Each structure stands twice: as C-alpha cells, then as structure tokens.
Structure 1
Amino acid sequence: MRHPPRSVLLAAAGAVALVSSVVVPVVSAQGATPACTVEYAVTGQWDGGFQGSVKVTNNRTALNGWQLTFDFADGQKVTQGWNAKWSQSGTTVTAANETWNGTLGSGASVSAGFLASRSGGNTAPAVFKLNGTTCNVDSEPTTPPPTTPPPSGGTAPALHVSGDKLVDSGGNTRRLLGVNRSGGEFMCVQGYGIWDGPVDDAAIKAIADWRADAVRIPLNEECWLGLSHIKPEYAGANYIAAVKDLVARVEAHGMTPVIELHWNHGQYTGNSAGCSDVHATCQKPMPDMQYSPSFWASVASTFKDDQAAVFDLFNEPYPDRATSSATDAWKCWRDGGTCPGISYEVAGMQDLVDAVRGTGAKNVVMAGGLAYSNDLSQWLTYRPTDPAGNLAAAYHVYNFNSCSNESCWNSTLAPVAAQVPLVAGEIGENTCAHGFVDQVMKWFDDHGLSYLGWTWNTWDCSSGPSLISAYDGTPTAYGMGLRDHLRALNP
C-alpha cells in the first residue's frame, strides 16, 4: 500500500462531560507513559440497564481515525450511543470515530457515551484496545517479541521457479494465496515497537485458519541494519531476531513467508513524495544504493538456507512519477544509478538481484513494476537477469489504480504471466467492501496466479484496506470476501 498508517495508535477529537459513579483507573508502571489511556465510567444504573462512557487520551503523535474495543463480562449489551459509532458482536464492543471527530493531537482526549442493557452484574471491562494496541499499560515496547520460542520443524514447502509457475521440491504447482502482515516497516522507525499487534503463535494460527498459505512481511531497511537513529531495542540484532521468529511461526503453520523491503533511506521531495525525510519513514520511489543492497545481502545471508522464504525486492517503485519519460523510468527501475528527478543514488532491481545472489541464496525473488507495482507493461523488456533462474513478477492492484480492470490485465499481465510466475503481492479496495477484490481474485484464479490481501491489521477501513477487526481473525466486511474465498479454495 502506498501510504500505510504512520502510527497504529488511533484516537479521536471531541468531548462530552464525564460524570462518574464507577471509574476504572489507569494503571501503569511508575514513570511509564502508555501509548493510550482509557477511562471507563458507569454514570448511571438502574434495573435492567445502565449508562456508561469512555474517555480516550492519545499519548503519542497526532493521529487520524480510531476504533476502540473492549469486552463485557456479564452479558451487557449496548443499545445506543453517541460521539462514536457503537456496535457489538458477542461480548466485544466496538466504538469507532464519527466523520467529524476522527483526528486527535498528541495529549488530546475524546469522550463517548452509550446506553446498555444488563440482566445480572455489571463488571467493568478489564482491557481496552485501540486498533489492537492495548491501552493503560506500559508502551515500551508496544508489541514485545513473543516470550515463547517459535515452533520448530516448519512445514512450509521449499519453492523454485519452473517456467511460469512456482513449484515445490516435488514439482507440484504452488500458488501464494494469503495476506500481508504490516507493521515491521513503520513501528520501529517511529519508536513504538517492532510489530503492530500480536505475532505470537495464536495470532499466526488465526491467519492460517483463513486457509491462507502465504504471509507477506513488510520490513524497514534502517531498522534491519540498526542505524543509529533507531531505538536500539527495535534495531539491528533485536529486529532481525523478531523477523526470524515471525518467519519461523509462519512456516510452522505451512505458510510461505514473503520477506519484503517496504521503506528505505533516501530523500525524495518530487512528484508524489510521501515525506521529505531522508530516513525510512515513508514509501520512496526506488531503493537506495547506500543501504538497500546491504539490506538484501544481510537478509539473503540470514535466510539462504531456507528455500521456503520468498524475497520481494521492493514494495512499490514509482520512478515514473519523477520523470515523464517511460524509457528513463524503466531504465532507472532496472539499472539504478543517477535517475531523473531522484536526488539520491538509486539501486536498481539488477543491483538487488545481484546482492541476493552474491550470498549464494537461491530463494525465489519478486520484482514489482512501475506505478507502485501496478504497471508491468514493459516488465519483460527490462526484467533483471537472475543467474539462479528464480525470478517472479510482482504486481499490486487496488480499485483506485489505473490498471484495475480485465482489459488491462489481459493486455499487460497475461503476457508476463505466460513467461514467469506472477504474484499480486497486494490486492485491496478502499470501499470497506469486497466487490472489487472479488473480481481480482476471479481473474487471478482463472489464470492460476497468486495474490495476497492488504492487510492483516486492525485499522479502520477508511484509513486503508483492513482485513480484520481483531487479531483472532474476526474479519471486516472487506476481509470477509477474502476469508470466505480462501476457505472455499482450500476447504
């Protein structure tokens, strides 16, 4: 996705009076500052019902959009509410921002209220989460590495390219059908942790329960390489260990890990720039020669003995936005160097393939095209040379992209897919529904191709396509389309 949320700690602006008869206090270690705090209050109570309120405070950078979740323990049911969109599924209550109160500055608060029915006790909720981030607890790290070791003896198949297919060691065709697990590209550089939400065995099993057989894992090169401005607890050896643990958990559930470079170093302020920062805090138009080859040499050395791992060289190239010449853009994509409109020295796809193969790694590598990986029109002409013969094409498609219909897929994707494996590393839509991805999946199914939905994170769908509302695998309306489709393909 071009612009994943800059933070996972979501809250809202606006307020109503908070008059409390029963208040759940914020509990935190001395001197610690939680990422977010929630005060829950029962402001009135009667036989069969009560009135309650929540006050949410954002303790981090300015945010936009929010979703608060908590669970009732005594069968209480929300019947109506205000200052939020209230809903309830089973015991889980969700309060999401209204259109008019979706932004919140650092240190600001919002309050929302509700009416609920009850038939017995009225125990206050114990745990409150904003988009999967637990509030009222110490936030360093927000998502600590799992305390239990990853399962051993992974069952994911070793893969290689055979013609236009991905195949396992027995020659059986394998499609990569699954999800993206965002977080590793932004949490570390923002100083909040390594992952957005849990990545323990239960959380990965929830992905496998959708009958997914692949998980794409976006990474940040500055965090992997441990550059000095990254908090040491989220950098270098600690970051690498966390990635290795997640890869092992994914493989233990029989799923293919797709390790991907998402955010990188290099200052770009030209057309469609995501930020003006030289550091890896947004999507850049191309990898950088200063660090990206080193990143891939290190990643490849780490996983070269694991042929189940697939390498996605760069998330969404867009050198075409920096120059009006398609030829220049494609040459920049393949060869790197000094590229029109890009101020830093670029590492081309050939540089990254060479960095991987220079370690002796023979893992399958994927290379996405121009226009944020949505344009593969000249991919075959400019594809890099791979001495291992394990190169696949990567493609991204959303309902708002230029190449988002069967006519374009037939004219630009089908010729590529006839020669090399084609993997749609990201599919999605910004409609909070699944009508578009249904069309994508049908076309890719008909052509025997791979696709992975963006994204297995509990963000509000208005901030980007989010497959789940909870890390137990509860789907959003959008995610329901992918989940049901994967389960139908792999009953």
Structure 2
Amino acid sequence: MRHPPRSILLAVAGTVALGAGAALPVMTAQGATPACTVEYSVTGQWDAGFQGAVRITNNAAAVNSWTLTFDFANGQKVTQGWSAKWSQSGTAVTAVNESWNGSLGTGASVDAGFVASKGATNAVPTTFRLNGTTCNVDSGSTPTPTPTATSTTPPGTGEAPPRLHVSGNKLADADGRTRRLLGVNRSGGEFMCVQGRGIWDGPVDDAAVRAIADWKVNTVRIPLNEECWLGLSNIAPAYGGANYINAVKDLVARVEAHGMTPIVELHWTYGQYTGNSAGCPDVHASCQKPMPDMQYTPAFWTSVASTFKGDQTVVFDLFNEPYPDRATSTVTQAWQCWRDGGTCPGIGYEVAGMQDLVDSIRSTGARNVILAGGLAYSNDLSQWLTYKPTDPTGNLAAAYHVYNFNSCAGAGCWNSTLAPVAAQVPLVAGEIGENTCSHAFVDQVMKWFDDRQLSYLGWTWNTWDCSSGPSLISSYDGTPTAYGTGLRDHLRALDG
C-alpha cells in the first residue's frame, strides 16, 4: 500500500508441544521483607526451548532504572525477549529496563519475558539480583523455594501462536489443525527509520500490542526496510543495524506474547527506478520499488531468516507489492522478472527474483512459511501458479493485496484468478482496505475469503486520517475509525 505523503506523516506524528503446567519453584523470602523479590515462571515449553517470565518487585527506595541478573545452570540460552533488553554471556543473563518501564517505585512491580533454548533439563535459577542487590532474601537469610503454578500460554492470551506449515492448500499448526491468518498491518518500520524520525510510528509497547489483540486479531504483519535492517551508511545509527533489529525482535516477541502470529515483510528496498509508476527517484529504500534488488535484498533475507529460523511461528513475506509489469511491455517478461530476476526490461538495477529470495531463506535452514505476492502491486495472481518459485520445504504460500481502487477488486476476478490459486496453495490477503472511510468494500472482501476459509489482514493499524488512506484506528488504544469498525466487529463476531 502506498503511504500518506510525508507532510501528513509529520502532522500526525522442533515441534511445539506446550508443557502441562507443572509446578516450578519460585524463590520467595523468609522472615523480613527483602529489598526486592523476583517471581520466575516457565509459561510454556517444548522439546528444544521454553518461554519464561519474571515479575520484579522493588521493596526498597524508588529507582529510575533497573538491571536484573541471574544465572542458568543447564546451558539454557535466551534467544529473544520483551519488556526488557535481554542479553546473555556464558551462563549469566541480564535484563535491563526499556525506556518506558525504568521507574520502579517502592512496592512497584514490573513484568518481563523471554524465549530461550534448553537441553534435557531446565532448572530454575536460584539467585536473582536487582541493581546488584540479592532478591528474595533478607540480610543473612537463605532463600527457600516455594511452588507456584505456571501457565502454558503467553500472559493475557488464551492460546499461544502456532508453529505453521503448509498442508495442501491450507496453513496448519503442529497438530495438523487448519489455521487462518486474520488481523492487521502495523506500518511504520518501513519508513520512519529511513526518514530519520525513529523506528516505529506510534507506540509498540505491551499496552499497544494488547489493544491489537483485543480486536480478536490473531496475526500482525510488520513491514520492514532493508537498509535499516542492514544498517547501511545512509541510516542514522540510532535507527539502523542492531538497534533496528532488536526493535523488530522486541515487537515480534510482544506480538507472540499476546498469542498472535507475526508476519515480517520486506516493504521498501534499494535501487533507483524512475520509470512508469515510480514512487520516487531516490536510489535508497524510501519508497516502493518495482522489484527487490540483488545488491542487498538476498543479504536482508539471509539475516532475517537466520534471526527467526528457530521460531516457526514467524511468517516471511518476501516483498510487499511487486510491479515489474509497469516497467515492461509484456506480461511474460514481467512474470519472468518476478520469478527469475536478473536484468529486467525497464528496471535499471539488477533484480532479485522471488526464487533468489526463497533460496536465500532456505540456505539458512529456516523452514518458516513464506508468502510471495504477484504482479500489479500483489493484485494480480493470474500466472502465479505458472511461475511459482521452487521451495524445497513445500512451505510456500501466495500473497494478494486488494483495495477498492484496484483492477482485480470484485468477485468475478476473484473467482477467475484467485480461486485456482487457492485450490492449490494457501492464499493470504496480506492487505485489504478502501479509501472511503467506510467498510462496505472490505465487507465484500471478507465474505468472499470467509466463504473459502482464507486469510486476510487489514491495512493499517496507524492513526492517519482515513481520507488519505485506509487507517483502522484513531488512537493506539484501539479506538476504530468508521473504516476500522468493520474489520474489528467482523473479527470479534468470527471469534464468538
């Protein structure tokens, strides 16, 4: 989807098998109130890993920042986390507050969580320190383990997000149950960083993600920028490289913690294109290009896949809205460019085709589900099956975008071009929307997709003026626009 003009933006500023909640020891103090207490719990686990949570309570003088440290005894390794900056050196684990939860008054508590790998055993840490002070004990006492029940799902949700794979023409979880991806896009990560204004457009803390989940959303698509992820020289260091990657990992973890599937999607890319329908003359990743570039995009996907290959709940969306058909005069050339890349008519840089990107991801060992959108800004799937990339894992699905102003925006086109694709592979409408500040069109889209048990996500969970583009909300607390009301009420009705 094209974004509001910059002036508007500036104005609006192994197989998962969750363990049965066995009781695990959490250290509590005996006698006098300790300076701090830490409640540690395993909220879910599977063969090779687990999800953990800590609740930190400060019983001493108020602090403006905090650092929690503890040690793992059985080789556990933190791979991602949320509500803190998590790191690990050897057995020592460190969690440092985020900018928004550093203040901890006397008697106040804060929650944080993480995902970690494990071996055959998963012993609970015995000693926790907050800003260097040992917690759960008063001076001279010995900590005593007290059992507490654990949950097998993330906090605040009814179900952990599934590890997905392709089964025939459906997406399925580890138990073989069919899953539909129903949700929203969370725009910002594709444009804020390259414009030097931050990483996200609006809050992405736990409360903001919880507001998305409250719509009964089960999937959040997260658009990204390849120059920011790779930390290229034109990106401010504060918004690129490791800082950007960690911000994406944090948001993915929060989405998962609320039981939702994250889709990480490549939106804006490098490469100068000034031909038909060009979004900008800039060589940098500051607008939608007709195709991804060979110079940086395979490296982007190799890095992203390496980051998330241990988490098969994450879905990869190769490239937002290809439009090589606008650059070349023949449909055959456009589809060949789409799949094979290389030197494409009308495009002045070397193109990375969809096959190149699939190969980059699979070379890392990642088996995550991959989405590939078609031509005409992902609105044309008419020859998708003919030019379908080869995926050795069989986990490839088709992506489709539709708005009321697109060419293929009615049941006649959907029946003739989408239905044959959906009969053979999973079909996900990664973006649906309309520019009317209403929802009559998306109501039609959702009915057609519901009737065939297909997936769709609304554009977009951002507080832009809906007259300038499809904006679902007027506030990040989840207050819908007139357009967003249609999607919210429909998802809630489906859930009921």
TM-score, with structure 2 as normaliser: 0.71
User: What percent identity do the matched residue pairs reach?
Assistant: 80
Quote the Cα distance in structure 2 between the aligned partners of 1:350 and 1:444: 27
Asked if structure 1 preserves the Cα contact closer than 8 Å seen for 2:427 and 2:455, the reply is: yes
What CA deviation, in whole Å up to 9, does each residue of 1:414-443 have, x standing for no partner?
Answer: 000000000000000000000000000000
The amino acid that maps onto 2:492 is R
For 1:152, which of 85, 94, 114 is the aligned residue? Answer: 114
The amino acid that maps onto 1:6 is R
Quote the Cα distance in structure 2 between the aligned partners of 1:345 and 1:9: 31
Give 1:7 shift. 6.2
What CA deviation, in whole Å up to 9, does each residue of 1:365-387 have, x standing for no partner?
Answer: 00000000000000000010000
Residue matched to 1:418: 423
Residue 163 (1) aligns with residue 168 (2): yes
Q: How does 1:312-327 map to 2 (within 5 A)?
A: 312-327=317-332
> The residue matched to 1:152 in structure 2 has which SS?
strand
The amino acid that maps onto 1:152 is F
Asked if structure 1 preserves the Cα contact closer than 8 Å seen for 2:9 and 2:464, the reply is: no
Give 1:146 shift. 5.6
Quote the Cα distance in structure 1 between the aligned partners of 2:235 and 2:468: 26
Q: How does 1:267-282 map to 2 (within 5 A)?
A: 267-282=272-287
Residue matched to 1:357: 362
Asked if structure 2 preserves the Cα contact closer than 8 Å seen for 1:150 and 1:248, the reply is: no
Quote the Cα distance in structure 2 between the aligned partners of 1:192 and 1:170: 43
Residue 294 (1) aligns with residue 299 (2): yes
Quote the Cα distance in structure 1 between the aligned partners of 2:237 and 2:492: 41
> The residue matched to 1:379 in structure 2 has which SS?
coil
Residue matched to 1:219: 224
Residue matched to 2:469: 464
Residue 189 (1) aligns with residue 151 (2): no
Residue 382 (1) aligns with residue 392 (2): no
Residue matched to 2:240: 235
> The residue matched to 1:380 in structure 2 has which SS?
coil
Residue matched to 1:6: 6
Give 1:238 shift. 0.2
The amino acid that maps onto 1:356 is I
For 2:481, which of 473, 476, 479 is the aligned residue? Answer: 476
Give 1:156 shift. 1.2
Give 1:8 shift. 6.1
Q: How does 1:428-439 map to 2 (within 5 A)?
A: 428-439=433-444
Asked if structure 2 preserves the Cα contact closer than 8 Å seen for 1:7 and 1:187, the reply is: no
Seen in structure 2, the aligned counterparts of structure 1 residues 239 and 455 have a Cα distance that, compared at 3 Å, is same
Instruction: Give aligned pairs, total.
Output: 361
The amino acid that maps onto 1:329 is A
What CA deviation, in whole Å up to 9, does each residue of 1:69-120 have, x standing for no partner?
Answer: xxxxxxxxxxxxxxxxxxxxxxxxxxxxxxxxxxxxxxxxxxxxxxxxxxxx
Quote the Cα distance in structure 1 between the aligned partners of 2:2 and 2:337: 19
Residue matched to 2:20: none
Give 1:264 shift. 0.2
> The residue matched to 2:207 in structure 1 has which SS?
helix
What CA deviation, in whole Å up to 9, does each residue of 1:359-415 have, x standing for no partner?
Answer: 000000000000000000000000100001000000000000000000000000000
The amino acid that maps onto 1:272 is S
For 2:405, which of 377, 393, 400 is the aligned residue? Answer: 400
Quote the Cα distance in structure 2 between the aligned partners of 1:247 and 1:347: 26
Residue matched to 2:309: 304
Residue matched to 1:344: 349
Unaligned runs of 5+ in 2: 14-97, 103-110, 116-153, 155-159
Asked if structure 2 preserves the Cα contact closer than 8 Å seen for 1:3 and 1:274, the reply is: no
Give 1:462 shift. 1.5
Give 1:152 shift. 3.3
Seen in structure 2, the aligned counterparts of structure 1 residues 209 and 158 have a Cα distance that, compared at 3 Å, is same
Give 1:10 shift. 4.0
The amino acid that maps onto 1:183 is G
Residue matched to 1:207: 212
Quote the Cα distance in structure 1 between the aligned partners of 2:416 and 2:229: 38
Quote the Cα distance in structure 2 between the aligned partners of 1:274 and 1:147: 39
Quote the Cα distance in structure 2 between the aligned partners of 1:470 and 1:363: 33
Residue matched to 2:44: none
Residue matched to 2:119: none
Give 1:194 shift. 0.2
Quote the Cα distance in structure 1 between the aligned partners of 2:101 and 2:296: 31
Residue matched to 2:27: none
Quote the Cα distance in structure 1 between the aligned partners of 2:168 and 2:282: 41
Quote the Cα distance in structure 2 between the aligned partners of 1:150 and 1:326: 51
Residue 451 (1) aligns with residue 453 (2): no
What CA deviation, in whole Å up to 9, does each residue of 1:305-350 have, x standing for no partner?
Answer: 0000000000000000001100000000000000000000000000
The amino acid that maps onto 2:369 is V
Asked if structure 2 preserves the Cα contact closer than 8 Å seen for 1:214 and 1:256, the reply is: yes
What CA deviation, in whole Å up to 9, does each residue of 1:27-56 have, x standing for no partner?
Answer: xxxxxxxxxxxxxxxxxxxxxxxxxxxxxx
CA RMSD of aligned residues (A): 1.4
Residue matched to 1:371: 376
Residue matched to 2:290: 285
The amino acid that maps onto 1:431 is T
Quote the Cα distance in structure 2 between the aligned partners of 1:321 and 1:327: 12
The amino acid that maps onto 1:213 is N
Quote the Cα distance in structure 1 between the aligned partners of 2:9 and 2:282: 21
